[in-house]
Amino acid sequence: MKTLIIIDMQNDFCPGGTLEVKEGDQIIPVINAIQDDFELVIATQDWHPENHGSFASNHPDKQVFEKTDLDGLEQILWPDHCIQGTKGAEFHPDLEMKRMEAIFRKGMDPMIDSYSGFYDNGHRKSTGLAGYLRSRGASELYFCGLAADYCVNYSLRDALEEGFKTFLIADGTKAIDPGGFNKIQKELEARGVNSIFSSEVY
């Protein structure tokens, strides 16, 4: 079964949000246009409590984008974003939602961040996504959304580790650091990720 996984298309990651990806909203028409080409469409959603340890505001001696140790893992400190129940955590209003059969929330444990849609950053706890996909008979996973170099990247890596045939829809994602993502994309392709454009989905 061909499955589209839309990663974190939330207001805080789009222009005007607290952790915006430049031109992040420009991929929404691409994502909307391809949804009918898939048998299964699901989404992930960053869903942080206010006291999340990845927020610089919860470390008075640190600045945004500094690194710290969070429960034994290196952690980039982010601006407050995607706080549970806030407008910033909502999906972008232009994103088509009718085809979505499930939403997997992540980042709820204040002591560990969760970039991937499958696991937290320490692989200590599963979101249940892999089991759900297997139960639905999903075999080919196509990823899009935000941000390419973080949550999309880590989701792709975990999808490969879980044994799925994995695709990146290159024009359906945007990176915080586009230059850095070019290198990441080559690494992903070397690992077995298939990079395609939305026009190649059928």
**Residues belonging to the active site:** 8, 106, 151
Torsion over CA: 99, 201, 159, 50 (sign): negative
Query: E strands of 40-180, at which residues?
Result: 40-46, 67-70, 73-76, 100-106, 140-146, 165-174
- The token duo for 201 is 């989905």
Which of 190, 198, 139 has the alpha carbon at shortest distance from 173?
A: 198
78 phi and psi angles, rounded to 5 deg: -105, 160
CB 173 within 8 A of CB 146: yes
Tell me the sheet residues that pair with 74: 69
Q: What is the CA radius of gyration of the chain?
A: 16
